[in-house]
Every structure is written in C-alpha cells, then in structure tokens.
Amino acid sequence: MTSPVSYKIVDDIGVISINNPPVNALSQAVRQGLLEAIRSAQTDASRAVLIQCDGRTFIAGADITEFGKPPAEPYLPDLLDEIEASAKPVVAALHGTALGGGFETALASHYRIAVDSGKVGLPEVKLGLLPGAGGTQRVPRLAGVEATLDLILSGTPISAGHAAEIGLVDKVVTGNLYDEALSYTKQLVNDNAPLRRTRELTIDTVDSSLFDSYRQNLDKRARKQTAPQRIVDCVEAAVTLSFEAGQKRERQLFTECMQDSQSVAMQHLFFAEREAAKIIGLPRDIARREIEQVGIIGGGTMGGGIAMSFANAGIPVTLIEVNAEALERGLSIVDKNYAGSVKRGKLSKEQAQQRRSLIEGDTDYAALADVDLVIEAVFEDVELKKDIFGRLDKACKPGAILATNTSYQDVNEIAAATSRPEDVIGTHFFSPAHIMKLLEVVRADKTAADVLATCMALAKRIRKTPVMSRVCYGFIGNRMLQGYFREAQLCLIEGGTPESIDAAMYDWGMAMGPISVADLAGLDVGYKARAALPVEKRGDPRSYRVPDALVEMGRLGQKSGAGFYAYDAETRKKSSDPAVLEVIEREATALGIERRPIEADEIIDRLIFALVNEGLRILEEGIAQRPGDIDVVYVYGYGFPAWRGGPMHYADAVGLETVLARINEFRERFGEENWTPAPLLEKLVAENSSIRLFSPP
C-alpha cells in the first residue's frame, strides 16, 4: 500500500510531503510515514527538513475514522517529540487550516511559515477534549499564558496573521507557499539558525490568580463542562512544572477527558451534525437550483434577522412589507442590529455597511419577479400565509423556491395554495435568526428533491446547521417542546415556584430555565393560540391556567416588564415577585390541587423524559431521519447542553430501562394521558437495544 507521506531532497532540503485527502488527517499511516521520513532525514545529505502538505490544507486534525478505536503506534506525542528532537532544523509550511494534532505537529517543528489565508487552532475543547500531544505545553512557551488560554479554551481557529502576532507563526507570506517555504528553510540554514526547540523555551512568570480568574469565568461561561477546567490545569502545569512533567500531566488529563461521558456526548454531536446534513435516499449528485437573489416577506424581528443571514453571506435581499411605514420600521431593525455588531466589535463599520447595502426594501410583490428564493416570515396565521403564497405563485418566476418560515403550521396546506407545490418548502429559522445556528428544513409531501437539496446546501452557505423534518404540528423541536413546557407548568401548579423549576433545569445544564424562556417568548403568544381553539382542544387546564391568568393581569413577560418574574425597565434583570405565587396558589385551589414540595430530580426527569418520549414517537413516525438529528435540533435550537449530547443520546446514556421505569412511574402517579410510554421505547427495551441503533422507516 502506497504511503500518504513521501520524502525527497530538494536543493539540500529534505522535503516531507503529506498527501492524505481530503484534509490530510493524521491517520496511523500518516504518522508512520512522518516518523520514517524524519528518521531518514537524520542520516542523509539534507541540511534541514520542510514538512508540507499537498491539496487544500495542512494537517487539519485527527482522522475521525479512528475515533473510538484503540490507539495505534506511532503515538502522536512520541512522533512529535522525535520531530522536535531532530538534529536538523524542521520547518512546517502551513496553509488551509492547521488544526488540533496538525497544529501540534507544527508546534513541535522548530520554525513555522504560513500563507496569509491560513488559519491555525486547537479545537479539541469543542469535543470535550484537550490538546493531548503537547499543545497545552508548547503554546504558552511561544505565545504566553493568556493568549494560550484564550486560544485553547475558545477552540476557534485564528488567522495566520494573528498567530504571527502572538508568536505561534514565524513568517507569513502571500506568494506560492512551497517556494516561499523552501526559500525560508534555505535562509535558516545559511544563517545557521539555532534548533529552536519549543520545549526548551521559558514562559514568562504570571500571577497564580490569573488561573483562578479563568476558572471562575468558566464556571459561568462553560457551566459544568470538565474539559475547559482541565485545560486551565494543563496550562498552569506548563508554568509550574518542567516540560516533561507538564506533558505527563497533559496526557493524564487528556485520558480523563477521553473517558468522560461529556466527551462521548460531544463527539456524538460532532458526527450527528455532519449526518444531519445528508438526506437519506437523495442522490449526492442531484442538481441544485441557483440561489443568487432572495426575497423576504415580512420585516419584523424574524424577517429582518433572516434578511441579515443572507446578506452576511453576500446574497442580495429584497424585503417586502405591507406599506412604507412598516418597511421603514423593518429596515430600522436591521440597521440597529448591524450597529450593535459594530459596537461589540463583531464587524467593522465598513463590513456592516457593505452587508447592509445588500438589503433593499419594497412594498410591491412585483419586486420579487427575479428572485430565486422567497421566504415568507409573517406571524403564525395559516390563512394569511396561504393568501401570501397565492400571491407569490403569481409574482415569482417559474423555478423560484417558495419557503415558509413557520414554527408549527401545516406546510402541505400552505403549498396547496399554489399551483406549484413541488417548489414549496418550510424553513424554520430560530430567533434571533441572524445569530442562531439551527435551521429546520421542512419537507412537504410534494416538495421536489432538488428544492430540498438546494435548501440544505443553502443553509450551510448562510452558516446554519440544517436538519430536515417531515410535516407535523411543531415539526421536531416545537412538537417535543410541548411536553417539556406542559410538565414545567404542571410542576409549577402542583407545588413548585418559577425559581425552583428554573433552578433545577439551569443547574442540570439548560441554557435557560423553562419559566424564564416563557417570559422571554411572551406569555401572550400561547394565550392567543389557545384562544383560537375550542376549549376541548386546549389541553389540560392545569398546564395553562397560571400563564393565562398572568396575561389577563397584563403580565405578558419581559416585553411588558412582568410575567412570571418582574423585570427592570432598563436592564431587564429579573426578580421574584410574590404576586405570582399568589396567582399560582389561587389557581391551584380553584382546580382542586393540593400543592406539595417537588424535588429537583422529579422536575428534571419529568421535563427531560417528556422530551425523550415524544422524540421516540417522532422517530417511529419518520418525522426525523435519525436520532442524532433530534439531538442536533435540541442542542443548537433549544439550549440543551452539548455535553449531554441531546435528549436521544442522554436517554441512551442513562439507560432506556431506567427511562421506561420512570415514565411508567409517572403514568401511575399522574395518569396515562401525559405519560403513556412511546411504543418504540417499549420495543427497544424489550429487544435490549438502544436509540442510536434505530433506523426510522
């Protein structure tokens, strides 16, 4: 078998070339080839060694096909120690993305040259891991402690220019990297440059309080995550111990991360996100429609955010509103958002102006005659949406994709309002649309395959994480959320408080507690939706009597300054309000409920297992393609902690027998209406199987 690593001498320079497409991952074969080449260079006529990669990138990290398998020699830390110990200068030439073990390979080299478009980084924290091949020990010796912590804890790649500024790259070039790197290596030889082994460099002294400050910040920013805290421990070891002892500490903590359930969960999400973008049964080579111009119907908060998502990707947008006043109001929202991005340093003034220039407004549907895609983003009134789609059917050119941004409406019914249902699809953005990563792409019964493929690819183009859902009320995310919020309200009226319920879920890892989420969304939204339904279809009165009573008191949530909590008019900081407890107790008495203390464990299990049970129904019905899709939806759209892997992964992790037993207990205590186990759950338990092995019909 041909090695992915080749070696030859060019003008007295030993050139090691790695060719392991698509991203030159550090497979066992690459590691073995590198080791053999470095060893060969020690005894041949070369005067220095240049490590470079063919293709579009330097080593972009570990080989993901080896994840979960026993490690194979040569081990990366040992290989990098041997590179660093070379008796001849070793130069790494970086282009594309040098990430993880790839960047650690560069750090073990004596010098680093990079093309200006390149990026470097150590993203292991995003998988619940830490750099395990000397990264936490070598980076602080080159860049200092604070820059190291910022780089490794964020996991976000930085530009070659920035890397040069902090000492991680020695030279940045704009020309042909190979030629420049070869010339640079020759210059180092001619200048008799020293063997600058990173392990031999000293680290500037820092106050130990710096590490305490980072740990305290992580307690808030990365609540309950173990890898970030271990990263701080490793960098502190780099300062306080010898390189060898620090490296040993790094390996120990890396092993602990590998064995941690958090890393298992985050690696599951890593693969699940990539799988979610693939549509089962859809040919990979299917032709996609060109999307070069987009229309948005509705200039509210959601419509404006969607418009920004496209403009940020360089796609021109035409925003349609009912009249000039509404249009001006909508465009002002966009202006305000861009101004905020500039103020926070996310964009330069010039970048914001350039993106804003791509968004135009109009009040006439005729302005949509040439758009390739139009997204309707008005409020959730199915008759209004059908009317709009009837108008779009006439105004838009043949082949234009007609999309509805709806949270729960029937996309089939909306598509039927047109003469071309094959062009209709659902695109459920999450608020704020220009920030949130998730996009539920809703495939209606008659949606054409190329429309679906186009929208899935377009989501990536606008930097969204797409997940396909079939049509049902609420699709994947909001359908499951109904049970979650139902149990939150039931726990509240049965004996909890807004504070106790929010604290239980926040401490468990959710980004926000469910009561706070309700206040943020607006209690009047659910109130109006229920008011449009006959009483018998509104569900269990115990699950909505308290929020409805609050709405009728004028307490709509954050936007009115009061909901389940009271809010400061300027800061919107929430505080407890005794008046709410009075409402809860009054409504409980009216419904004949004897309130009781409810422990956090019960709150957590009721809310999370309600999600799991409905998720299993969604899987069995084929609404979601695979269990991991549901996990991606909940982590990226609903604040589910990534380190728990999503509701489906979590259920497998705690054990389906445990989940079923708890649901059966709740059925006995609270009735079968809300707590009938999903048939799929019972089936999987009977077969001693797991959710991750289930393939929907």
Closest CA to 648 of 609, 621, 696, 622: 609
CA distances from 274 to 302, 465, 489, 550 (A): 26, 9, 35, 43
- Spatial separation of the C-alpha atoms in residues 36 and 143, rounded to whole Å: 30
Question: From its phi and psi, is residue 144 left (phi > 0), alpha (psi between -120 and 50) or beta?
Answer: left
Of the pLDDT bands very low, low, confident and very high (cuts 50, 70, 90), residue 1 is low
Residues contacting 158, CB < 8 A, separation 6+: 119, 120, 121, 151
- Phi, psi (deg, nearest 5) at residue 488: -65, -45
Q: What is the pLDDT of residue 194?
A: 93
Q: Of 129-143, 180-194, 437-451, 529-543, which gets the smallest average pLDDT?
A: 529-543
Q: What is the pLDDT of residue 285?
A: 87
The percentage of residues in the chain with a pLDDT greater than 90, rounded to a whole number, is 92
Q: Are 438 and 309 in contact (CB under 8 A)?
A: no
CA distances from 544 to 125, 288, 331, 515, 565 (A): 41, 45, 36, 12, 16
- Spatial separation of the C-alpha atoms in residues 508 and 501, rounded to whole Å: 11
Q: Of 363-372, 525-534, 655-664, which gets the smallest average pLDDT?
A: 525-534
**68 pLDDT above the threshold of 80:** no
List active site positions.
104, 124
Mean pLDDT within 404-420: 96
- Spatial separation of the C-alpha atoms in residues 442 and 405, rounded to whole Å: 10
- Spatial separation of the C-alpha atoms in residues 235 and 224, rounded to whole Å: 19
Contacts 24+ apart (CB under 8 A), 664-667: 666/605, 666/606, 666/609
Where do the domains of the chain lie, and which CATH numbers do they carry?
5-258 (3.90.226.10), 294-473 (3.40.50.720), 478-590 (1.10.1040.10), 600-693 (1.10.1040.50)
Q: What is the pLDDT of residue 205?
A: 84
Residues contacting 675, CB < 8 A, separation 6+: 613, 663, 664, 666, 667
Q: What is the pLDDT of residue 495?
A: 97
3-class state of residue 49 by DSSP: strand
Q: Of 20-34, 172-186, 517-531, which gets the smallest average pLDDT?
A: 517-531
**396 pLDDT above the threshold of 90:** yes
Task: Read off the tokens for 288.
Answer: 């996609």
- Spatial separation of the C-alpha atoms in residues 663 and 676, rounded to whole Å: 7
Residue-wise pLDDT for 339-349, tens only, equals 999 999 999 99
Residue-wise pLDDT for 70-105, tens only, equals 889 999 999 999 999 999 999 999 999 999 999 999
**635 pLDDT above the threshold of 90:** yes
**107 pLDDT above the threshold of 70:** yes
The percentage of residues in the chain with a pLDDT greater than 70, rounded to a whole number, is 100
Strands (E), 599-659: none
**537 pLDDT above the threshold of 90:** no
Q: How many residues does the chain have?
A: 697
pTM to 2 decimals? Answer: 0.93
Closest CA to 131 of 146, 147, 152: 152
In this structure, the dihedral spanned by the alpha carbons of residues 640, 136, 157 and 76, taken in order and rounded to 10 degrees, is -100
Strands (E), 388-437: 401-404, 424-429
For residue 438, list its beta bridge partners. 465
Q: What is the pLDDT of residue 530?
A: 87
- Spatial separation of the C-alpha atoms in residues 323 and 10, rounded to whole Å: 69
Q: Are 120 and 154 in contact (CB under 8 A)?
A: no
- Spatial separation of the C-alpha atoms in residues 100 and 120, rounded to whole Å: 8
Indicate the average pLDDT of the chain: 95
Mean pLDDT within 135-139: 98
Q: What is the pLDDT of residue 547?
A: 96
Could you tell me the sign of the dihedral formed by the alpha carbons of 508, 510, 512, 515, in that order? negative
- Spatial separation of the C-alpha atoms in residues 544 and 212, rounded to whole Å: 45
